Amino acid sequence: MKYIRKKINLENFTIRTIPKSVLIKNSEGKTVIDENNPKYYYGRIPEYKIDNEGNFLLNSFGQKIRNTINIDLYLTHKFDDMGIFSDNPYTPKTDTLTTKPQGFNSFTYGRLAGAPVNFYYTSPNSVSGYTDDGLLQQVKSYRKDVNGDDVYVPNLNTSDNTSNVFSGVLSEDNEKTIYKIGANINDINNSGINYTTFKNKFTKTKDEYGFDRSYKTTIFSVDNSGWNETNVSLSASTKKEEYLGVVFKPEVDSAVFINRGIADIFERHALLSEIKTTNDIDTNRGGFIRI
Amino acid sequence: MATGNYGTIRPADVSIDDVEIYYSYTPNRESITNVELFPLDPAEVLIPANNPDNVTEIFGGLYTLKLPTSVFGTKGFYNIIIRPKQIRTTIQDCSVLVDNQDVKGIVFDINQIPIDLQNRFENGNLVGYRVEYLKEQLGTGQDKIQNLFRIITSNNRSLPITQNQGNSNASVAYTFNDNSTSVFCTVSPSSAPAIKPNAIPFIGNPQQNVIITNTFFDPVMLEIEMVEFDDETLAYALFSNQTKSLEDGIYTIYNFGNQIYRQYNLYEVKDQFTGKPLFEVREQKFTIDPTKDFDEITDF
């Protein structure tokens, strides 16, 4: 329920004109108002709109126009959070389809009755492109050669979590350095991001301030397993009444936020408006809220 | 598992036919009488704005409330409530679907609904409507069951089917049929929570009176204080034109359009025996002297 308060001055609707037609001479010869004249409205608010002579204004249909006090409103429709979906088992349609319809794309087609889960699988693929050599620093050893240049040691794991993650050089020659970032320690060849930084090829570009910038040309590539039995399943998506209104807000893991400080009187209220669950107290702004 | 969908606030594009408006009036804030509400016809007082790019399309959100001066022309406080239209009817039956015995619902008879509102009861049109319940024994105090409501999640014309339950017992269940005049509505909540499977929520009883309300917009309450003075009228006294008739002592204040706003008689009260002046008086004059027209006085 929205509550609106308004103050309206009736004087804006009160007639202050005195038409000549309502003026008469009294017995003393003095000009006075004939208050019984139907065109006399001085000091009153007429039910219908009138002109300065006290005549009714008419619309295009010849009808009198009702005198109204107009107030503009903005009506809204609040649509509340409807609650989380729950995955429910379902009985699949029999006569399971054996071939995909022509042009079937699981992302645009959505659910297709009778389609088995493997219709939604996609082939492994690889993504590659060019980048800068900024990550090369992460895989260098602590040693330097006689020229003072960094030494890259193949198979030296430089990650912070050496028992699970491999980040390091795979091979190096006079032309290039090949290295991995974030690979599974047990499957280095098929996981993580593969980088190849060329020693004698450079890429020139301009930074955000317009200054020239140059770095060793680097190619990255990463293999994607696609959608398969490990990450796709089919289930009925339903909403349980007991979860009505229970939702999780989108969680943004941001490393940087701006504290507007106590100088802004709205800051503390704005912060609280972002808190809807007790879980938010722990996670909001990376744990910024403290009790 | 998907995490769910999120709410929003959108401009309402509700039809005037789905709105009802009430108002109350009190001359001051100290009134000791109960609030008495009077209806207003939304078709006469609420006008939706049209999209300037397409005049046959509602703009959305923006409505103009045109309050008739014949009703709202008195100094005091008016409370105006604009809320979704209510439909009052009786539950014909509470039952289940023949093919889905675990789907419970309430049944309405379309013929009991006023003709101009019957289209709301066509298949799917009641989704999102709110059902509130009246007590089965009316006139025993508060007739409405307070703080209880259900939301309609589906409605379809349905035909009652008598089912043999054995032992000479029979029950009625419903099957969808567009030729029927009964409407089967599922409501939420109507299923028991997982933690207490037998605690089935109340959805109503046959012959119980209910109030069905659309949820097309959020209700609005306006408190309008009608006043006789504001900054503008006070400025008349300070800055607008004035005349004082030396012949008859009529003091006239004009508004900024040079129309007579107030007139006063100026005179002195003297001792009747000595003639000694006692008071200078300014007394408001309610019979306006039209010869004090400012434009005529200053037209020389």
Q: What is the DSSP string of B203-266?
A: ---TT-EEEEE--SS--EEEEEEEES--HHHHHHHHHS-EEE-TTT-EEEEE-TTS-EEEEEEE
| Of the partner residues B5, B9, B221, the one whose CB lies closest to the CB of residue A82 | B5
How far is B114 from B135, CA to CA, in rounded Å? 22
B243 burial (CB, 10 Å; 0-12 / 13-18 / 19+) is: middle
Amino acid at B115: I
Q: What is the pLDDT of residue A185?
A: 93
Q: Which residues pair with A83 in a beta bridge?
A: B5
**Dist. CA B243–CA A137, nearest whole Å:** 91
Low-confidence spans in chain A with pLDDT less than 70? 247-274, 281-291
Three-state DSSP at A1 gives: coil
Closest Cα in chain A to B223 = A5
Are A82 and B260 an interchain contact pair (Cβ–Cβ within 8 Å)?
A: no
Minimal CA separation from B21 to chain A, in Å: 13
Question: Which residue in chain A is spatially nearest to B44 when comparing CA positions?
Answer: A66
Out of B14, B64, B261, the one facing A72 most closely (by C-beta) is B64
Share of chain B above pLDDT 90, in %: 82
Q: What local confidence, expressed as pLDDT, does residue B107 receive?
A: 97
**pLDDT at res. A236:** 82
Q: How high is the pLDDT of residue B100?
A: 85
pLDDT for the residue A248? 65
3-class secondary-structure state, position B295: helix
Q: Which of B71, B220, B260 to mutate to test the interface with A (most CBs of A within 10 A)?
A: B220
Taking an 8 Å cut-off on Cβ atoms, the answer to whether A75 and B82 are in contact is yes
Burial B219-242 (b: 16+ CB within 10 A, else e): ebebebebeeeeeebeebeeebbe
The pLDDT value recorded for residue A268 is: 56
CA distance linking residue B290 with residue B299, whole number of Å: 15
In angstroms, the first-to-last Cα distance of chain B is 88
Euclidean distance between CA atoms B8 and B59, whole angstroms? 18
The three-state secondary structure class of A80 is: coil
- Most B CBs within 10 A among A16, A28, A75, hence the mutation to make, goes to A75
Helices (H), A212-265: none
Please give, rounded to a whole number of angstroms, the shortest distance from the CA of A161 to a CA of chain B.
Answer: 30
pLDDT given for residue A285 in this prediction: 63
Smallest CA-to-CA distance from B66 within A46, A68, A64 is with A68
Can you read off the two tokens belonging to residue A254? 């941001």
A285's tokens: 């702004």
- The answer to whether the beta carbons of residues A162 and A190 sit under 8 Å apart is no
With CA atoms as reference, the chain B residue closest to A69 would be B67
Condensed to tens digits (0 to 9), the pLDDT of residues B13-46 reads 999 999 999 999 999 988 888 889 999 999 999 9
Residue from B5, B203, B255 whose CB has the most chain A CBs within 10 Å, to mutate = B5
Nearest CA-CA distance, residue B265 and chain A, Å: 16
> Quick one: tokens of B24?
């109350």
CA dist B262 → B129, B251, B279 (Å): 54, 8, 22
Task: Look up the pTM and report it.
Answer: 0.69
End-to-end Cα spacing for chain A = 32
Residue B191: closest C-alpha in chain A: A241
Nearest residue, CB atoms, A1 vs list B191, B221, B230 = B221
Question: Which chain B residues are closer than 8 Å to A82 by Cβ?
Answer: 4-5, 7
pLDDT, mean over chain B: 92
> Under an 8 A CB cutoff, do A7 and B259 touch?
no
ipTM value for the complex? 0.86
Task: Enumerate the β-bridge partners of residue B281.
Answer: B267
- Do residue A1 and residue B220 have CB atoms under 8 angstroms apart? yes
Mean pLDDT of B209-232: 96
C-alpha dihedral, A225 to A227 to A233 to A236, nearest 10°: 150
Contact B251, B263 (CB under 8 A): yes
* CA-based nearest residue to B206, from B180, B171, B177, B175: B171
pLDDT of residue B287: 92
Q: What is the pLDDT of residues B39-73, one digit of tens each?
A: 999 999 999 999 999 999 999 999 999 999 999 99
Backbone phi and psi for residue B262, each to the nearest 5 degrees, phi listed first: -145, 150
For the record, the structure tokens of A17 come out as 């004109």
Give the start-end residues of each E strand in chain B. 8-11, 19-26, 38-40, 46-51, 54-68, 76-84, 86-96, 104-109, 130-134, 144-166, 169-176, 182-188, 209-213, 220-227, 242-244, 250-254, 260-270, 277-284
Q: Are residues B73 and A2, on separate chains, in Cβ contact within 8 Å?
A: no
Per-residue pLDDT tens digits for B161-203: 988 776 767 789 999 999 999 999 999 888 887 778 888 899 9
The answer to whether A119 and A281 are in contact (CB under 8 A) is: no
Task: Report the alpha-carbon angle B140-B144-B146, nearest 5.
Answer: 120
Q: Do residues A224 and A230 make contact, with C-beta atoms less than 8 angstroms apart?
A: no
Of A1, A10, A249, the CB nearest to B227: A10
Position A253 scores a pLDDT of 54
Distance CA B267, CA B245 (A): 12
- Cβ of A248 within 8 Å of Cβ of B4? The answer is yes
Q: How far is CA A141 from CA A132, A144, A156, A196, A215, in A?
A: 20, 8, 8, 17, 20
A75/B14 Cβ within 8 A: yes
pLDDT, position A264 = 46
Closest Cβ opposite residue A31 in set B6, B65, B290: B290
Contacts of B290 in chain A (CB under 8 A): 18, 23, 31-33
Give residue B1's pLDDT band: very low, low, confident or very high (50, 70, 90). very low
Instruction: State the best of A73, A82, A232, A279 to mutate against chain B, taking most chain B CBs within 10 Å.
Output: A73
Query: How far apart are the C-alpha atoms of A170 and A196, rounded to whole Å?
Result: 10
Q: Rounded to whole angstroms, how far apart are CA atoms B208 and B206?
A: 5
Contact B7 A74 (CB under 8 A): no
CB < 8 Å to B6, chain A: 81, 247, 249-250
- Set of chain B residues whose Cβ sits within 8 Å of the Cβ of A67: 68-70
- In this predicted structure, the answer to whether residue B83 has a pLDDT above a threshold of 60 is yes
C-alpha to C-alpha distance for B52 and B73, rounded to whole angstroms: 32
Minimum distance, in Å, between the CA of residue B258 and any CA atom of chain A: 10
Hey, are the CB atoms on A248 and B3 less than 8 Å from each other?
Answer: yes
Q: What pLDDT score does B283 carry? A: 96
Q: What is the mean pLDDT of residues B126-135?
A: 95
If one counts every other C-beta atom within 10 angstroms of the C-beta of residue B83, the result is 17
Question: Which of A3, A32, A76 has the CB atom closest to B10's CB atom?
Answer: A76
